[in-house]
Chains A and B, each alone.
Chain A
Amino acid sequence: MVYYLYRVKRLFRNKILFFWSIIFPLVLATFFKLAFSAITEKDWGFDTIAVAVTTEEGSTPDEMLISFLEEMKNEDQAFFEVTETDPETADRMLSEKEVTAVIVVGEETVIKLRENGLDSTVVKTVIDGYLQSKDIFMEAAVTGKLAQVTEAFSDEMETLAVREFKGASKDPLIQYFQALIAMASLYGAMYGLMNSNELNTKANTADVAARRLASPMKKIPTVLADVAAAFTIQYVQFLIIIAYYLLVLKVDFGTINGWLFLGGAAYSLFGVLIGYCIGSVVRQKENIQNALMMGTVMFSSFLAGLMVGGLRITIELSAPIVNRINPATLIADSMQALCIMRDMDRFATCMIGILIWCVALIVVSVLAMGFRQMAEGRRVKNV
């Protein structure tokens, strides 16, 4: 126990590890929040579109068009804010971005747009619909069936029903925050690597390793205490990040329940074991081990969508096996399944994937340590 506490103290005091495993993810999360908070609202939200309606010289204003545009509503919010004005003012308003489009009523209805985009598409779709309706009414007038067509048109029956999205959050940018937690969890590898190197007499920390190996404590309890200490720090950091998301950044993380905290324990252990495995298998200089570890974590996080949102689903569609084995994707996917989709089967699948990884990492680390010990023993005998 005392050994465990000293180990916690030793790991916690390393400022560089502290920065990368906790400060960096928190700062990155803050930047994500600052940068992305308005994107979903501005990109996916529904906003009333400002349009100007003007009439060509010599033509009569189309009052029906104006009332058609003004009456269009999405729930209680109007689709359009209509300004009726002269052509010059309308053009000025368009160039000064006061309106998205100018609708010129004349012999032929013309839509002037500043640029392409969804708002422009909405204006175009609605005006096309209006003109097409007008044609149908004109045809009805010619065939003398105006009354029937008007009745059919004024039928308020809604054919299309809305099926609600089953997810607990509708913010797709959550996937960046999930990938960030995955990255932060895998950064636990730094603690694992430090532990492993401080038992390796060939690493840069050889003097510390020599001192620890010379102690009368057996190796297995030493390793277990090391793992427990690294796991404790990593898990506390996971809790801090979750708390920061929910309480400070107010990220809509979906449904939070006990499974997430249990999952967090598995993520933390997973990260620490990756570090152990690299430290045990790669018997090179510490900076090479660090580079390999950082490269692994960053590449894995990249595949989980940390840098490019939506990459995870793109991989799922083209090479799903990558998502089944990539550590960061397993973590991010399990959080998505649990908190957003509330899909316990998928959560369980991801957790099984993580546990298989953990067992494999333990086996490889133990074998590598055993081989190293055998080699060192042989060397001592030869001496």
Chain B
Amino acid sequence: MKTVFKIAKKALPAASIYFCIFCGLMIAFTFLAGKDQEKNFQATKLDILLEDKDNSVLSEALTEYLGKENEVSEDFNRELVSELIFNGVSDYVVYIEDGFEEKFLSGEQGGLERQSIRANVAFLDEKIELFFRYVRAELALGKTTEEACKAVLLNCEKQAKTVVTSDKGQSMLSPGYYFFTYISYILPAILIMVLGPIMNAYYKKEIKMRTDCGKLSTRKQNIAIVSGIAAVAMMLWGLLMIMGVCIYGRDFTVSTYLCGMFNSFLFLLVSVAISVLIGVLVRGGDALNGASNLIGMGMAFMCGVFVPSEMLPDGVNKFAEFLPASWYMKNVRMLYETDNMADVIGEYLGNCGVIAIFAVAIFCIFLVFVKRKRVV
């Protein structure tokens, strides 16, 4: 067991990189997330860039009209417009040419353009067209341009009553959600880096032969290595759980934390099984680093850790069902989407069962490879 710790200690610098990434992500999400879902309606504000070369009553009224529910900026670098649109910094650009008001009042077209690469901003086109219909209607009532614009802006204050009925008990944006989510990336990544070298060393032909020559029986050797691995894994998991409580204690309810903890414990078993299997199959620190990256990131990308599974293509979601992290993520989502865990406890335990089966299956594969590697 002492040897196991000695080897694990050597792998610590490389593994600590992942640990730092995890801490960085957790801290970032503390600032980015953390707000509960609003029960009141909040419009999605679009970032609009507006270039007004007309500076007329009508163009200024349009600017005010758009600014009521969106972020309108007139101060921007014209040379960077395409870049701003392409990179999603700006959703919509409005160009008002000189003489636009005159053209509008004389019933001519032209002088007003918009630019966007998003298809779902079509409603804003309709909103702008509606603004000009209102102005035409007000003008038809015999008002001046200024009076018409004022009337339209005043009329826009009248809005339908809105109720948000979301039944989410806890927000998906809660930092606690991200804490449990990113554990599924970090556990296999770190454990492969730490446990891999232990398995590498233990199953190295010369070392295995030398150990077998000693007085320690195979049973005792196995007990020592299993307890060593279990201690390392439990230390990492325990550290993460303590960190979770210390940083996000306020975000967790008792049931969320306990269920999340049990879920992550089962995923720890899967991660240990994967790590020991990789440790037997792959040799060398650099190769283990590669495997850790591929497995950690691969599962995270496909199972909805980095990108929500609703955003992933259906084919990827179906394939992800064959990976343990997707079942783990199902439980994490359940914890944060449901008000009362008792309602979904059956489904939760079912998912836990699948994760446990994954752990057993991967461990069995590991045993098969170990048997093949037996040298004495």
Contacts and interface: CB of A to CB of B under 8 A. Distances in A.
Interface of A: 15-16, 19-20, 23-24, 27-28, 31, 34-39, 42-47, 72, 74, 79, 91, 94-95, 108-118, 120-122, 124-129, 131-133, 135-136, 139-140, 143, 145, 148-149, 151-153, 155, 157-167, 170, 172, 175, 309-310, 312-314, 316-317, 336, 340-341
A117 to B, nearest CB: 6
Given A35-B301, A159-B129, A310-B87, A136 B118 contact: no
Given A149-B141, A157-B107, A316-B83, A121 B136 contact: no
Given A132-B156, A310-B88, A126 B312 contact: no
Contacts of B344: none
B161 A125 contact: no
Contacts of B120: 44-47, 118, 122
Contact of B140 (A39, A47, A149): A149
A132 B104 CA distance: 22
Contacts of A172: 86-88, 117
A34 B312 contact: yes
A20 B133 contact: no
Contact of B104 (A139, A149, A159): A159
Given A135-B158, A153-B133, A165 B85 contact: yes
A114 B88 contact: no
Contacts of B158: 128, 131-132, 135
Given A127-B160, A131-B159, A159-B128, A121 B44 contact: yes
Contact of A136 (B93, B155, B165, B306): B155
B133 A16 contact: no
A44 B139 contact: no
A121 B87 contact: no
Contacts of A170: 86, 117
The A interface, classified by DSSP as helix, strand, loop or mixed, is: helix
A111 B294 contact: no
B164 interface: yes
A38 B119 contact: no
Interface stretch (B2-10, B35-43, B348-356): B35-43
Residue from A91, A94, A117, A155 having most chain B Cβ neighbours under 10 A: A155
Given A39-B307, A114-B164, A116-B164, A161 B301 contact: no
Given A42-B311, A94-B165, A161-B113, A125 B122 contact: no
Given A46-B120, A47-B120, A108-B161, A160 B87 contact: no
A152 B165 CA distance: 38
A131 B157 CA distance: 11
29 contacts: A16-B286, A23-B290, A27-B294, A27-B298, A31-B301, A35-B302, A38-B311, A38-B312, A42-B311, A45-B120, A79-B122, A110-B162, A113-B162, A114-B164, A117-B44, A120-B164, A121-B44, A122-B123, A125-B123, A127-B160, A132-B158, A140-B137, A140-B140, A145-B141, A145-B142, A148-B140, A148-B141, A153-B133, A310-B88
B82 A131 contact: no
A152 B140 contact: yes
Contacts of B130: 129, 133
A66 to B, nearest CB: 15
A241 B160 CA distance: 53
A110 B133 contact: no
A34 B316 CA distance: 7
Nearest to A127: B160
Contacts of A153: 133, 136-137
Contacts of B140: 140, 145, 148-149, 151-152
A122 B118 CA distance: 14
Contacts of A310: 87-89
B113 A44 contact: no
Contact of B87 (A45, A164, A166, A312): A312
Nearest to B119: A46
A223 B83 CA distance: 41
Contacts of B88: 172, 309-310
A111 B301 contact: no
Contacts of B122: 46, 74, 79
A124 B126 contact: no
B115 interface: yes
Contacts of A340: 86
A252 B118 CA distance: 16
B254 to A, nearest CB: 26
Interface in B28-68: 37-38, 41-44
Interface in B157-174: 158-168
B257 interface: no
B95 interface: yes
B128 A160 contact: yes
A176 to B, nearest CB: 11
A161 B165 contact: no
B138 A136 contact: yes
Given A112-B162, A120-B164, A163-B115, 13 more contacts: A19-B286, A74-B125, A91-B165, A111-B161, A115-B168, A124-B43, A125-B43, A127-B160, A128-B159, A129-B127, A135-B155, A162-B113, A170-B86
B165 A95 contact: yes
B144 to A, nearest CB: 15
Nearest to B316: A34
A161 B287 CA distance: 57
Contacts of A164: 115
B214 interface: no
